[in-house]
Amino acid sequence: MEPFVFERIGHQALRERIVTAETAASWIEDGMTLGLSGFTRAGDAKAVPTALIERAKRQPLKVDVYTGASLGSDIDKMMAEAGIVRKRLPFQADAAMRRKINERELLFVDQHLSHTAELVRSGVLKPIDYAIVEAVSITEDGMIIPTTSVGNSSIFVEKARRVIVELNVAQPKALYGFHDIYEVGKQGERTPIPLTKVDDRIGTIGIPVDLEKIAGIVVTNQTDSPSTIVPPDAETAAIAKHLIEFLRREVAAGRLSERLAPIQAGIGSVANAVLYGLLDSEFCDLEVYSEVLQDAMFDLLDAGKVRFASGCSITLSENKMKQVYHSLEAYRGKLVLRPQEISNHPELIRRLGLISINTALEADIYGNVNSTHVRGTQMMNGIGGSGDFARHARLTIFVTKSSAKHGAISSIVPFVSHVDHTEHDVDVIITEHGYADLRGLAPVERAPLIIEHCAHPDYRPQLRDYFAEALKRGGHTPHVLEQALSWHIRYEQLGTMREETYQLQ
Amino acid sequence: MEPFVFERIGHQALRERIVTAETAASWIEDGMTLGLSGFTRAGDAKAVPTALIERAKRQPLKVDVYTGASLGSDIDKMMAEAGIVRKRLPFQADAAMRRKINERELLFVDQHLSHTAELVRSGVLKPIDYAIVEAVSITEDGMIIPTTSVGNSSIFVEKARRVIVELNVAQPKALYGFHDIYEVGKQGERTPIPLTKVDDRIGTIGIPVDLEKIAGIVVTNQTDSPSTIVPPDAETAAIAKHLIEFLRREVAAGRLSERLAPIQAGIGSVANAVLYGLLDSEFCDLEVYSEVLQDAMFDLLDAGKVRFASGCSITLSENKMKQVYHSLEAYRGKLVLRPQEISNHPELIRRLGLISINTALEADIYGNVNSTHVRGTQMMNGIGGSGDFARHARLTIFVTKSSAKHGAISSIVPFVSHVDHTEHDVDVIITEHGYADLRGLAPVERAPLIIEHCAHPDYRPQLRDYFAEALKRGGHTPHVLEQALSWHIRYEQLGTMREETYQLQ
């Protein structure tokens, strides 16, 4: 083995445990449960899952797969296509796996990202046979230093029967020192999580591991797969503009300072665009307490707009990856990666008073938000951390383009086809047309704001008609039950939610 | 003034501020916002609101009314009927007010009970002109000692422009020392809430108040209105039996000890019956961290089954009230009353790892729960604290009878007409027929359990048919969209959800 590999394994005896991915994969038996590192395409275990998929071609098997969040490197795609997954949780974002989930060829459990660790710790979920976690190094005192994400790796390592480490020499060794691993302990026996500021360090720089549990170390050399973020367009830029405008009004009202409050922004192109919007704003000295640190975050750090960013993973485009990982020292002391249980912990989200910005799939006229299910039935990705943040943030903002599929789908509907965030948890909805500030409003006060400020103008007459008819029917939250889901049914039948093409049958 | 009144006002100068309820009511102007004490019929301000209602007969006015939760003493009823409320939050439970809300004669904002204080503190809600809070006494150093509930009184007193104290001599002076008032402070500047055990005292015995803000003290002599809990019946007893059986299995699996974990139980007859079920169980040395302490809780304390109970209010039947308030000393050191922000705080619920038991109005075959809206439109009471607990508890249990209105309504439906608790937050559903343990299950695994273990046998064939048809349509969460709300529509049109009487049109 090359010296540059050995120098990443501080603990001498462990150097004897280096095995091939194929060997490690051969230990995995049908029916086992695996806990994989990986969060939003970052820091995922790559070689052993790939070898397992290969092996399954000769020896079919099914395993349960727990992760941090979505995997990169096409692992979810390949696992789904190979049919080796019986149950998958808590999140995924791959098109092939999504198809298999919706065809019910595999079981998917969509969980709040802060909840999975509790369920593993308390023994509610099936125990983990192998934790397979990516590392940049293993220290002399036997701590696993994660790579570009922490995810659920620390609880997987603690609770798994055995551990396989993927030592990835393509991941920058300089990530050493960027992590802060904190274990909350058993419910009922734990003390307050001592974090009170986004840059507090409360744990260890790596994942403590019982060395006896390390079954093998697989050396790999493969970068994370780059993110597929599309650059801001006119609509996402308009959303960002409305967000800035809303934040300005909060500053003017004395509820926020120009430093705002720690920001969380969900994954994806809309959230990324919104962060770019902050780059040109007057807000400064910002703090971030989020899950995923995307491209925009590093531009904000570079511009000095963001003072400090706490996250659970770093997910970058190809170019940004090159830039960031070649100048990591510039970010030392300015960012930290935490377990997702900590990045998404209700205790901390509420204490810090975050401004939380997440993407809605659709919202209804009363402010209920669907983040997961297309037409109420087809899983998109999962709720992710949005519920962890929405319920507890100081300001819970959902953003979405007002329409999709070239206008055939309205993102504002009479009645959402699935609820992930209830009316009690949604403060502000923003589309490219404007924002609706729903705080302190009764349902019938919310509907006109959402319709007139957020809905696509083409859909406003239809929404106004629905609301007017609903008002006649009465109730605190007026609805016309037999029409409530008619927009989704129309789309299913006719390919559009628009009424002019809708023929009554 | 009688000496026994003076001895309840430790601070001499304040004795000069005693006024009549009519005088205090005369200070309230049209358009003002009032913050009233009161939580689940306990410790409500009684005299000033009553005088205000009287005054409004001559001088019409509208006010916004914030409270802890529901009021007793018919205050919500009288306010609603007098038409003096413009906006009401965060919870109510009165039939007359409910009617006015659903007729939209007043605006109702249904909030998580732990959220209201944050919204008052941060200035998101309209500022409070008068806090009107009931007290058993005011100490020499100027602290207001609340009566049978704390609710939002402490934040109302802190943030209101002026304060009116209703000194209620019918409330036992011995309540002094039973309260623990803790102020969390501004978001972003606060430290961890230092509570790690249900019996920890972390605050002061009363509500600190700037004495200059006390506009007047009104002396009253009126007990709380008794609770209207109905005794356990065969169905609620069966629910309790299934709960005990479920808890036994958790103990057998090593996930709980015989001391279980701190219990929260929602208000109402079902929750009360469930607690009575614990009385005859083998579980002992129990702890309670809840909102409302009802009759059953005192029987559990008397029997030595419950070691300590933390709550936000004491709501008792007439007989129980007599017994408890004449022997309060027996409970000293065994119970504490906290602000609802603390009794319901996500940070503490998750840290303590509660077993949370709340009532559902209806649940769907995938585990989504409706706690608030009859047929999706008519407000019942409000979400109350159920969302604070459900998202964060160790075990989130929803209980309901499997049918209502003599079988015309099934509590298990294909698709709930309103979502308060999403599939991500519901662990176990219990009816008189059994329980469904949904933890770690995908939607299609949950449906058969809920249908076969929880639904009323009369409705099982209909539910099975729906689920079978939905499976044919496909998807991660299969639905037949055009039939999803048909059960509610059928009930609206034909007065029953049963299919045999349903004529296709």
**Residue in chain A nearest B380 by alpha carbon:** A476
Residue A499: pLDDT over 90:
no
Check if the interface score ipTM surpasses 0.90.
yes
Which parts of A326-392 fold into alpha helices (H)?
340-343, 346-352, 386-390
Considering the domain architecture, whether residues A348 and A458 belong to the same structural domain is answered as yes
What is the share, in percent, of chain A residues with pLDDT greater than 70?
99
Mean pLDDT of chain A: 96
- Between CA A67 and CA A38 the distance in angstroms is 6
Q: Is residue A378 part of a domain?
A: yes
What pLDDT sits at residue A502?
42
Is the preceding omega at residue B90 within 30 degrees of 0, hence cis?
yes
Q: What is the mean predicted confidence (pLDDT) over A83-107?
A: 98
Residue A5: pLDDT over 90:
no
B105, burial (CB in 10 Å: exposed 0-12, middle 13-18, buried 19+): middle
Considering the domain architecture, whether residues A434 and A325 belong to the same structural domain is answered as yes
Is the preceding omega at residue A90 within 30 degrees of 0, hence cis?
yes
Q: Is residue A229 part of a domain?
A: no
Residues A9, A15: contact at Cβ < 8 Å?
Answer: yes
Considering the domain architecture, whether residues A216 and A240 belong to the same structural domain is answered as no
Q: Which residues of A touch B376 (CB under 8 A)?
A: 415, 477, 479, 481, 484
Structure tokens at B341: 């922000």
Considering the domain architecture, whether residues A213 and A243 belong to the same structural domain is answered as no
Q: Which residues of B touch A193 (CB under 8 A)?
A: 192
Instruction: List pLDDT tens digits, range A168-224.
Output: 999 999 999 999 999 999 999 999 999 999 999 999 999 999 999 999 999 999 999
What pLDDT sits at residue A12?
86
Among candidates A119, A347, A489 on the partner chain, residue whose Cβ is nearest the Cβ of B481: A489
| Spans of chain B, pLDDT less than 70 | 1, 501-505
Considering the domain architecture, whether residues A287 and A433 belong to the same structural domain is answered as yes
Q: Say if residue A270 carries a ligand binding annotation.
A: yes
Question: What is the nearest CA distance from B118 to chain A, expressed in angstroms?
Answer: 8
Considering the domain architecture, whether residues A200 and A315 belong to the same structural domain is answered as no
Q: Is residue A225 part of a domain?
A: no
Residues A161, A130: contact at Cβ < 8 Å?
Answer: yes
Considering the domain architecture, whether residues A270 and A413 belong to the same structural domain is answered as yes
Across A118-237, where does the E strand assignment appear? Answer: 130-138, 143-146, 162-168, 207-208, 214-220
Considering the domain architecture, whether residues A310 and A260 belong to the same structural domain is answered as yes
Mutate to test the interface with B, among A100, A477, A493, A505 (most CBs of B within 10 A): A477
Considering the domain architecture, whether residues A436 and A332 belong to the same structural domain is answered as yes
Q: What is the mean predicted confidence (pLDDT) over A232-241?
A: 94
Give the range of the structural domain holding residue B481, as residue numbers without chain letter.
234-501
**Residue in chain B nearest A190 by alpha carbon:** B351
Q: Is residue B468 part of a domain?
A: yes
Number of inter-chain CB pairs under 8 A, A vs B: 225
Q: Is residue A394 part of a domain?
A: yes
Instruction: List pLDDT tens digits, range A44-72.
Output: 999 999 999 999 999 999 999 999 999 99
Residues B332, B179: contact at Cβ < 8 Å?
Answer: no
Across B221-327, where does the E strand assignment appear? Answer: 263-265, 286-289, 292-293, 306-311, 313-314
Q: Of these residues, B134, B166, B287, B291, which one is catalytic?
A: B291
Which residues, 6+ apart, have CB-to-CB distance to B11 below 8 Å?
B138, B139, B140, B141, B142, B211
- Catalytic residue numbers of A? 291
- Between CA A261 and CA A279 the distance in angstroms is 16
Comparing A151-155, A191-195, A500-504, the range with the smallest average pLDDT is A500-504
Q: Say if residue A10 carries a ligand binding annotation.
A: no
Instruction: Please judge whether A188 and B387 are an interchain contact, meaning their C-beta atoms are less than 8 angstroms apart.
Output: no
What domain count does chain A have?
2
The last residue of one of the domains, among A172, A192, A220, is A220
- Between CA B89 and CA B91 the distance in angstroms is 5
The last residue of one of the domains, among A190, A220, A250, is A220
What pLDDT sits at residue B1?
67
Instruction: Please judge whether B422 and A474 are an interchain contact, meaning their C-beta atoms are less than 8 angstroms apart.
Output: no
Considering the domain architecture, whether residues A66 and A166 belong to the same structural domain is answered as yes
Q: Say if residue B87 carries a ligand binding annotation.
A: no
Considering the domain architecture, whether residues B328 and B422 belong to the same structural domain is answered as yes
Q: Is residue B316 part of a domain?
A: yes
Mutate to test the interface with B, among A377, A396, A397 (most CBs of B within 10 A): A377
Mutate to test the interface with A, among B397, B481, B486, B492 (most CBs of A within 10 A): B481
Q: Which residues of A touch B194 (CB under 8 A)?
A: 192
Residues B312, B158: contact at Cβ < 8 Å?
Answer: no
Instruction: Please judge whether B192 and A192 are an interchain contact, meaning their C-beta atoms are less than 8 angstroms apart.
Output: yes
Instruction: List pLDDT tens digits, range B187-226.
Output: 999 999 999 999 999 999 999 999 999 999 999 999 999 9
The torsion region of residue B127 among left (phi > 0), alpha (psi -120 to 50) and beta comes to beta
Instruction: Please judge whether A347 and B350 are an interchain contact, meaning their C-beta atoms are less than 8 angstroms apart.
Output: yes
Q: Is residue A294 part of a domain?
A: yes
What is the share, in percent, of chain A residues with pLDDT greater than 90?
92
Residues A485, A416: contact at Cβ < 8 Å?
Answer: no
Q: Is residue B41 part of a domain?
A: yes
Model confidence band, residue A1 (pLDDT cutoffs 50, 70, 90): low
Instruction: Please judge whether B352 and A423 are an interchain contact, meaning their C-beta atoms are less than 8 angstroms apart.
Output: no
Question: What is the nearest CA distance from A101 to chain B, expressed in angstroms?
Answer: 6
What pLDDT sits at residue B500?
72
The last residue of one of the domains, among A189, A220, A251, is A220
CATH of the domain at A361: 3.40.1080.10
Question: What is the nearest CA distance from B275 to chain A, expressed in angstroms?
Answer: 21
Considering the domain architecture, whether residues A430 and A287 belong to the same structural domain is answered as yes
- Between CA A82 and CA A93 the distance in angstroms is 17
